[in-house]
Structure 1
Amino acid sequence: MRLPTPWRSRMIAVLIVAVAVVTAGPVSGTTRASAAPRAALVSAVDREVHFTADGTTAYGTLHIPAHRAGRRLAAALLLPGSGPTDRNGDEPPGFTPHTLALMAGVLSGDGVMTLRFDKYGTGRTGLGGRSSAPDMAAYTRQAVAAYNTLRAQPEADSHALLVVGHSEGGLQALLVDRAVQPKPAGLALIAPQDMRLLDLIRLQLATELNQALAAGQLTAQQAWLNNRGVARAIADFRAQRPVDTSGLLPSLVSLLKGMFGPVNADFVRSDDAIYPPSVARGIAHGTRMLITCGTEDTNVPCRTMPPLLSALAAARTTGPGLQVLAGLDHLLHPIGTPVNDPAIAPAAQQSLHDFVRPWRHATQG
């Protein structure tokens, strides 16, 4: 979840409408002159691909890194965060951090091919004729179709399929794992949604109210009343009662009506019904995992991670596990970096390198 800009509340956008070369040395006991010639080098390329889920065509970018002809590559499906976030991790024109496109570049350097796609409500895909956001299950079916499309590519190694999800995409990665065969060999959960949706939103809004209080924009009484009012509205929605937003700040009223109104209510209810640690307990034993949290991430704070981490430990997953990224925010930027700066901090890049190390060796020799 991306933190809304204080009192301009990008959370509405987050929720509305709601993807080196292998140089084989000479065989032992042979001379270099007698070794078989290496296969030709295939240049890196982006291919536009499309696939269908529930009758709607989705469009994406398949990136193939430079490799030797005939070499099968580790292949990663990239899943975006919440809201109208497109294949590149952007909500153009105003929000363009390029998070997923940059991840694809990092992984390409390790010889990993990637697929990222325009989910419902974004890019070329659009809403597929819908007038409201699909529910979470529909987004999962779309991501599963993307995974199967990636698996079917001639360059993909079916034994080295990976899923990398950012923010809500981290939860979606867990849901894709539950739905597909063969299972992914590894999952990377980058600043993942680790709580029920409305619990996380309540936490985010409490942080915003506390910041406004500290800045002198609200009194202690106003902050307390609005925190209580948000909790009341969430309880009403969960109980399927009329949502009472009386007495709340106008920005909160607008946000809550946007979430709980007819366009988004089905999606919000379906996402909020999912407790991520419960899904994580079903991950296959031995799955390689990466989980990141930034110490400056106020969308998904590190302190909320323990239940998810305990569930993954109970599932006996392996890999780098939790990587705490000091000084980084939700977009993998050092704190204070402009939102639209197209960069991923070196520590975040290194976490991805560590995650794919077994397959990097396998594909690059």
Structure 2
Amino acid sequence: MRSRTPWRGSVLAVLMAALTVLTAGPAPGTAWGAAGSRAALVPAVDREIHFTADGVTAYGTLHIPAHRAGHRLAAALLLPGSGPTDRNGDEPPGLTPHTLARMADVLGGDGVMSLRFDKYGTGRTGLGGRGSAPDMAAYTRQAVAAYHALRARPEADPQALLVVGHSEGGLQALLVDRAVQEKPAGLALIAPQSMRLLDLIRLQLADALNRAVAAGHLTPQQAWWNNRGVARAIADFRARRPVDTSALLPSLAALFQGMFGPVNADFVRSDDALFPPSVARGAAPGTRTLVTCGTEDTNVPCRTMPALLSGLAAARTTGPGLRVLPGLDHLLHPAGTPVNDPVIAPAAQRALHDFVRPWRHTAQG
């Protein structure tokens, strides 16, 4: 990891890096009346837009599906996962699954407009003059600014605003809901970060070490010592003690040196301070909420979801609730699909269709 580059380890990238080394080898909105049904059809369009947060200009894509003139549309803010994930859900050049771009397509088919943007450190936005990764609060302020920019669009129905977050973006969706006065009508948490960041990374690495043992690449004793070293490194970082990674496998040592180094430590600490189930308890009552997990997701396994779901239940959110996606991985692909395949599996598409059902419309009415 280059010392001058902010943390490039998304939840997905953390797991992939470890595996590579360890296994080497009628909706709200304008009603349709007689006059509305005869209104001119406005064709679908993608527009480049920008907005400002903390004095930094961020750039994004507004997707407006075909609709009848004068009809206000449900509008979804799309939030990416951790690391340098851009408006399309990509970390170019190596990881380009177009996850958010494909979500925009799926939602557009249901008549839902969307905004996706280049967060700090990605795409046209860049770091905004920073030399290190912003903390989680800065990312939240940027997402809130994007939410207000979407709400202000003349095509958007302010009573039908949605936030759709993937991976860490799921946690960020909950933070946006907590921060804004005009609450979103719905939250879709797609394979969301469901635990404290470093607890989740510890779980991911433990699973990866176990698979390395099963494949014959590590001995059980090597896995045990590395699991113990991972736990000690995390405990020392949280306690603000010096972190010794010398006993870890080189790949794990490099991972923690990058995450806990001066460029990235503030962000990691600010994310790790958040307990997603507690954040979920602050969701606005009555918010329509979707949570998905794929049975082949090794980044955010389904077994991590119960506490998050309990938090949403305590907040008195409404359904559709949890949708388990059989056979799907973290990128919403069938397990074994190449990571850069730009497709969202049908089961994930159905979950999104169900989520937006109260706001769904077509240009034909």
Regarding TM over 0.5, the answer is yes
Letter in 1 for 2:340: N
Letter in 2 for 1:248: L
Residue 270 in 1 paired to residue 282 in 2? no
Report if the CA contact (8 A) 1:7-1:251 is conserved. Answer: no
Report if the CA contact (8 A) 1:82-1:169 is conserved. Answer: yes
Alignment of 1:1-365 (within 5 A): 1-2=11-12, 3-8=15-20, 24=32, 26=34, 38-361=38-361, 365=365
Report if the CA contact (8 A) 2:63-2:114 is conserved. Answer: yes
CA distance in 1 between counterparts of 2:235 and 2:113 reads: 44
Report if the CA contact (8 A) 1:132-1:263 is conserved. Answer: yes
Displacement of 1:247 in angstroms is 1.0
**SS of residue in 2 equivalent to 1:46:** strand
CA distance in 1 between counterparts of 2:341 and 2:208 reads: 23
Report if the CA contact (8 A) 1:74-1:363 is conserved. Answer: no
Per-residue CA shift, 1:174-231, capped at 9, x if unaligned?
Answer: 0000001210000000000000000000000011111111111111110000000000
**SS of residue in 2 equivalent to 1:82:** coil
Displacement of 1:361 in angstroms is 4.6
TM-score by length of 1: 0.92
**SS of residue in 2 equivalent to 1:60:** strand
CA distance in 2 between counterparts of 1:117 and 1:93 reads: 18
CA distance in 1 between counterparts of 2:93 and 2:78 reads: 21
From the superposition, tell whether residues 258 and 38 of structure 1 become closer, same or farther in structure 2 (CA, over 3 Å): same
Letter in 1 for 2:281: R
**SS of residue in 1 equivalent to 2:360:** helix
5+ residue gaps, structure 2, are: 1-10, 23-29
Pairs aligned (count) = 346
Report if the CA contact (8 A) 1:104-1:114 is conserved. Answer: yes
TM-score by length of 2: 0.92
Letter in 1 for 2:16: P
From the superposition, tell whether residues 154 and 233 of structure 1 become closer, same or farther in structure 2 (CA, over 3 Å): same
Report if the CA contact (8 A) 2:66-2:363 is conserved. Answer: no
**SS of residue in 2 equivalent to 1:4:** helix
Per-residue CA shift, 1:237-262, capped at 9, x if unaligned?
Answer: 00000001121100000000000001
Displacement of 1:153 in angstroms is 0.3
Displacement of 1:4 in angstroms is 1.7
Q: CA RMSD in A?
A: 1.7
5+ residue gaps, structure 1, are: 11-21, 27-34
Displacement of 1:5 in angstroms is 4.0
Displacement of 1:9 in angstroms is 6.6
Letter in 2 for 1:108: G
Report if the CA contact (8 A) 1:23-1:38 is conserved. Answer: no
Displacement of 1:314 in angstroms is 1.0
Displacement of 1:6 in angstroms is 4.2
Stretches (4+) displaced over 6 A:
none
From the superposition, tell whether residues 173 and 298 of structure 1 become closer, same or farther in structure 2 (CA, over 3 Å): same
Report if the CA contact (8 A) 2:68-2:363 is conserved. Answer: no
**SS of residue in 2 equivalent to 1:289:** strand
Displacement of 1:284 in angstroms is 1.1
